Amino acid sequence: MHCKSHFVAASCAALLLLAAAAQSADAATAQSGLQPGGKLIELDEDNWHLMLQGEWMIEFFAPWCPACKNLAPTWERFARVAKDVKVQVAKIDVTTSPSLSGRFFVTALPTIYHVKDGEFRQYRGARDGDALLYFVKKQQWQSIEPLSAWKKPDTIHMSVLSYFFKLSHTLKDFNGRLQEEYGLPTWGSYALFAIATIFVGAALGLLLVCLVDFVYPPKKSQRQSFSESQDNLAEGVEDLATEDIEDDGEAEENEDEQRESDEEEPQDDDDDEEEEEDSEEQAGDLASQEKEADSEPEKAEKLEPKQAGDSAPEKTEQVRKRKPRKGD
């Protein structure tokens, strides 16, 4: 009897241990996102990092996408048969996980990725079950170039891009809520977003200026208060005014000198004219004297026509001596 009681107690303890082990296994399976029996796995923003280990085939879809609806049955059948080649098949709804669409830079739907130990390759083949199974069974993914380092979804810059995608989706939902629940017109919601954008931009700009000023502080020689800058500005204006006054004074002096030179020029012209008139008068006097000198020998010849011999040459020589020269 005592042995039976010990046996029953041991059996109960074993059952409890088995139940605990099964419960822990179920919890681990649920935590990892894996579903038994080769079923389709749903990944989201919280558990997407599970694809970084092992081999995965990931589909990005949206409920409103017609091509995604046509692919859905094929993708589920592929998930059931892919367990034989130890490949996990998952899908991601971009409407509920917008950050993942930004992280993987999804621009078309449906988009299929093959992931192998952190290496990402985009599948561009046929979308039927046989082609998908042949792709993973024959390891055709090795012929596809993996994504470059700057486009890998697990990098920092792609994480930042995913937050922007998530923010845009949040703003879109907020806009729809304003119009549907609060009855705000379309122009009102756009105006509200425009005002918010202006204030946010101003705040970010001020923050950036403060950050730059903190990282690269200005030198002491460059630091000036508002009053000092105003004083320097006033001094500069005064200097410009004095320079203008000096320039005006110099211009007036030049004008006075020009006027004096212009007044002196007519006097010089008058002197030149007087000199020309004097020279003309002198030339006239010389011409009249020559005429008188020429007329005197003729009178002498008329008064003494009959004189002969040596007297005529002497008189002519005397007349020639009296004749003035033009050079004088």
| Assigned token pair, 61 | 């879809």
| Assigned token pair, 144 | 């596809």
68 is catalytic: yes
Out of 3, 12, 68, 210, which one is annotated catalytic? 68
59, 97 Cβ separation under 8 angstroms: no
65 is catalytic: yes
Give the catalytic positions in this structure: 65, 68
